[in-house]
């Protein structure tokens, strides 16, 4: 059983998706479903990575696909609270620069 959890919370003007555990090939479909629902629900999706311990290419792909879907709808996805190895992977691959960081009140809610 994968050690992964994805939860959503609707805030004013955004949806926050919180990822926890390990985001890899085993949870690719769950990640896509959660991000797709968030993109359809709000023009701004904040992906909170505070509790994410591992992110592989499948997780990166899911984030980029969701980014493209959000852009097609006139919205955007941004990242919040990436740390450790997850932040390193996002930086090295350029995904951190592509998605950017949440700021202001939306980044906290």
CATH (domain of 24) = 3.30.750.24
CB 27 within 8 Å of CB 4: yes
Q: What is the pLDDT of residues 5-63, one digit of tens each?
A: 999 999 999 999 999 999 999 999 999 999 999 999 999 999 999 999 999 999 999 99
| Residue 103 structure tokens | 């700021």
Q: What are phi and psi of 43, to 5 degrees?
A: -75, -15
Total domain count, the chain? 1
Domain annotation covers residue 109: no
Which helix (DSSP H) or strand (DSSP E) does residue 15 occupy? strand 14-23
Three-state secondary structure call for residue 105: helix
Query: In the predicted model, what is the mean pLDDT of residues 99-104?
Result: 76
Domain annotation covers residue 108: no
Domain annotation covers residue 37: yes
**Residue 109 confidence class, pLDDT cut points 50, 70, 90:** very low
User: Domain range spanning residue 40?
Assistant: 4-102
């Amino acid at each position: 059983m994968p050690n992964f959890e994805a939860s959503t919370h609707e805030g004013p003007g955004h949806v926050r998706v919180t990822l926890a555990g390990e985001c890899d090939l085993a949870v690719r479909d769950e990640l896509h479903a959660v991000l797709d629902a968030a993109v359809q629900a709000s023009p701004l999706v904040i992906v909170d990575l505070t509790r994410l311990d591992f992110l592989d290419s499948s997780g990166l792909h899911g984030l980029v696909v969701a980014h493209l879907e959000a852009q097609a709808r006139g919205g955007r996805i941004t990242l919040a609270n990436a740390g450790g190895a997850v932040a390193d992977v996002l930086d090295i691959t350029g995904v951190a620069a592509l998605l950017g960081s949440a700021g202001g009140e939306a980044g906290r809610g």
